[in-house]
Amino acid sequence: MMKSTEVFSAKEFSDMENIRARYQEPASAILPLLHYVQGAQGHLSEQALTFVAEFIGVPHVRTFEVATYYTMLFTEPVGRHLVQVCRNLSCHVNGAEEVLQGLKRELGIDVGATTPDRVFTLVEVECIGACDHAPAMMIDGDLHRSVTVDSVSRILNSYREKP
């Protein structure tokens, strides 16, 4: 069994213990725990996935399955800011494609990649529930509505200096 100190700070570990304690079945804590680690460490490393699996008594592959299933969980380190562009129907017909092209151009990377300065990671997502203001995108926790190719650069710039 892995030691927590190999992957987590004392604070992280105690938070995780609290999360686990909320559930009668430790295994039920899988998603909240992974979500927590994603937030705390920016991604789910192999060691983190191994530890969480052992922490709640499930086979290792189980945390990997969950981590790769959800779009908000990452097994590779991502940039400081996560740009999620909606590609679903409403956004698509309202010009999501152009917005995406604009983002790619502006950041100089492809979908799924991270800028060399590790500031931005660009991903596509399905409907984020903002169809009434399509095309929409999310950066970290912020929703950006009715995005246009021209607004892309300004929006990105407002994040460059943010931690």
Partner 1 sequence: MMVRLTIDGRQIMVDGHVNVLDAASKLGIHIPTFCHQARLSDLGACRMCLVEVEGMGKLQTACTLAVNDGMVVRTDTPRVEKARRMMLEFLLINHPLECTVCDASGECTLQDLAFKHGSAETRFKGKKRILRDHIISPLIDRNLNRCIQCKRCVRVCEEIQGVTALGMSYRGAATVVGPFMDKSLDCEYCSHCIWSCPVGAITSRAMKHKVRTWEMEKSEAICPYCSCGCTLSYNYRDNVVYRVTHAEGRGLNMGSLCSKGFFGYDVINHPDRITAPMVRDADGVLRRTTWQSALEEVARNMKRISRESGGKAVGGIASDRLTNEDLYLFQKLMRMVFSSNNVDTPSGLWSRTVVPVLEKRMGVRAATNSLDDLNYTDALLIVGCDITVANPISGLKVKQAIRRGGLVTEVNPGKTALSRLARRSLAVPVGKELALVKGLIKVILEEGLYDSETLGKYGKFSELEFSVRDKSLKEIARETDCSVDEITQTAREFAGAKKASIIFGETAVLQAGGEKVLEAVIDLLVLTGKLGQEGCGLYPILSGTNFQGALDMGVSPNWLPGHAAVSSDSERKRVEKAWNGKVPKDGGKSAYEMIQAAAAGKLKALYLAGVNPLATFPGGEDLEKALKKMEFLVVQELFLTDTAKLADVVLPATSLAEKNGTLTNVERRVQKTSKAIDGLGHSLPDWKIFSDLGVACGEEGMNYLNSSEVMDEIASVVPFYSGINHQILADNGLQWPFSRDDAREVYHEGYLGTRHLLPEGLSKDKQFFAAVPVWETHSADSKYPMTLVLGDLLFHSGSFTRYSESLNQLAAQATLLMNPQTGMGLDVQDGSSVRAVSTQGEFTVTVSYSEDIAPGMLFLPRHFKNAPVSALMIPGPDDQARTAIVHVRVVKA
Site string for partner 1, 44-63 (x = CB under 8 A): --x--xx--------xxxx-
Whose Cβ is closer to partner 1: residue 70's or residue 157's?
70
Count residues near partner 1 (CB under 8 A): 13
Q: Smallest distance, Å, CB 130 to partner 1? A: 21
Dihedral over alpha carbons 53, 57, 59, 60 (to 10 degrees): 20
CA distance linking residue 127 with residue 102, whole number of Å:
19
Cβ pair 109, 115 in contact under 8 A: yes
Spatial neighbors of 9 by CB under 8 A, at least 6 apart, are none
Alpha carbons 101 and 68: distance in angstroms, whole number: 25
Nearer to ligand FES, 37 or 96 (CB): 96
Min dist CB 77 to ligand FES, Å, is 27
What does the binding site for ligand FES look like in residue numbers (CB under 6 A)? 86, 88-91, 127-131, 134, 136
- Residue 68: both structure tokens together: 């790769």
Identify which of residues 107 and 147 has a Cβ nearer to ligand FES in the complex: 147
